[in-house]
Amino acid sequence: MTIIRTGNSAEALGIIAANFYGNPSEKLILVGVTGTNGKTTIVNLLYQLFRKLGYNAGMLSTIHNLINDELTPATHTTGDAIQINRLLKKMVDAGCTHCFMEASSHAIHQRRIAGLQFDVAIFTNITHDHLDYHKTFDEYIKAKKQLFDDLRPGASALVNKDDRRAMVMLQNTKADKNTYGVKSSSDFKAKILSNTLEGLELEIDNQKIWFKLIGDFNAYNLLAAYGTAVILGEDPQETLVALSSAEPVTGRFERVPLKNNIIAIIDYAHTPDALTNVLKTINSIRTRNEQLITVVGCGGNRDREKRPVMGEIASRMSDKVIFTSDNPRDEDPATIIAEMLEGVKPSNYRRVLSIIDRREAIKTALMLSKNNDIILIAGKGHEDYQEIKGVKKPFSDKQVLLELEALLSDDTGQG
């Protein structure tokens, strides 16, 4: 028996896994996306874009993994080193020339991506999240930065210049440095021309383009995808045309039209910054003649500090808000809601209801809604389960919403 001692067994596993599967990351163009928000949308946009441009491509994301059009379920934002390399090997065998993957802070810190050769690394932004794991904000930043520190010469780094920590990501990188932004002078810049519940019109490189995605934050996601494609040598005009037909991502500001011109929006927003962005977008495009009703919770066994912050944001930026369960995991959902309530200012108490059962919370939002109102159901997005006491019980916000709408319509004789 041979025993090899190493200073970091996780890193060694990554290198061993890469070698075992024939270093598949070196046989295709690998793009990694990191940041608190936007990772899933950007990898989905890049996957759709390069498929439309005629490439065989793969995707590793929070929602699911794709090898061309073959779908496999995803259990984590970023899998372990063996899973990643096995999937990359399958992509190479299937003729894929590109792979777009999310790189979570946990995966970077735990060296699950050790041994991978990235051609492009993208930084979206960094806000309050995962401090239950990283303990301090500085440690969280360092984890994200590691992706860029490890890039080889000849690779490219693309960062959101409008985020004040973007340039920190570039400090020690050996890669070519590129920036994108809406507010700052950047290598890739967009101007928001219009933003409605039907879509987004941007001006990029003096071209006015309409996109199906909604919200200022999606201007950044689209720009990151565009910049990446141009860095990789794609024609700017063809890229913009292909991106204009990209579909919104499941559970990411997903618009669900209901009866009586009521609009429901399903979104994964589970951080203060993401919730602010979604509510800000809705408030910027609504008429104010309607109610904005928000259903939101916070996950159990996760960063507790953000709970009162999210409670304050939701109660301030909505006309009515219902605090409910998200994935309570091993915690008492009533305790989580109580911690969210701590952030609500006295002047906003009248707007807040607390309903532990998420299905009942969504039902109440529907019952409170009138013609033309907007309902935001935040926190779970694409997830099709609720995790309670170690058990993942089937639960899809969208499915429950549509079932309840049909039920309520039958009960009232509408429809």
Cα–Cα–Cα angle for 113, 115, 119, rounded to 5 degrees:
80
| Phi, then psi, of 388 in degrees rounded to 5 | -130, 120
58, 100 Cβ separation under 8 angstroms: yes
Q: What fold is seen in the domain 254-409? A: Protein-Tyrosine Phosphatase; Chain A (3.90.190)
Q: What fold is seen in the domain 14-244? A: UDP-N-acetylmuramoyl-L-alanine:D-glutamate ligase (3.40.1190)
Q: How many angstroms separate the CA atoms of 330 and 391, rounded?
A: 10
376, 263 Cβ separation under 8 angstroms: no
pLDDT at site 392: 94
pLDDT at site 415: 40
Quickly count helices (H) and strands (E) in the chain.
14, 19
pLDDT at site 76: 59
DSSP lists the bridge partners of residue 58 as 67, 99
Q: How many angstroms separate the CA atoms of 39 and 238, rounded?
A: 23
Residues forming CATH 3.90.190.20 domain(s) in the chain = 254-409
User: What digits encode the pLDDT tens for the residues 124-172?
Assistant: 998 755 444 445 667 778 888 999 999 999 999 999 999 988 999 999 9
pLDDT at site 357: 98
Residues forming CATH 3.40.1190.10 domain(s) in the chain = 14-244
Q: Is 378 helix (H, G, I), strand (E, B) or coil?
A: strand
pTM of the shown model = 0.87
User: pLDDT (tens digit, 0 to 9) for every residue of the chain, 415 residues total?
Assistant: 888 888 888 889 999 999 999 999 999 999 999 998 899 999 999 999 999 999 999 999 988 899 999 998 766 556 789 999 999 999 999 999 999 999 987 788 788 898 999 999 999 998 755 444 445 667 778 888 999 999 999 999 999 999 988 999 999 999 999 999 999 999 999 999 999 989 999 999 899 999 999 999 999 999 999 999 999 999 999 999 999 999 999 999 999 999 999 999 999 999 898 899 999 999 999 999 999 999 999 999 988 999 999 999 999 999 999 999 999 999 999 999 999 999 999 999 999 999 999 999 999 999 999 999 999 999 999 999 999 999 999 999 999 999 999 998 876 544 4
Q: How many angstroms separate the CA atoms of 249 and 65, rounded?
A: 14
Cα–Cα–Cα angle for 405, 258, 318, rounded to 5 degrees:
95
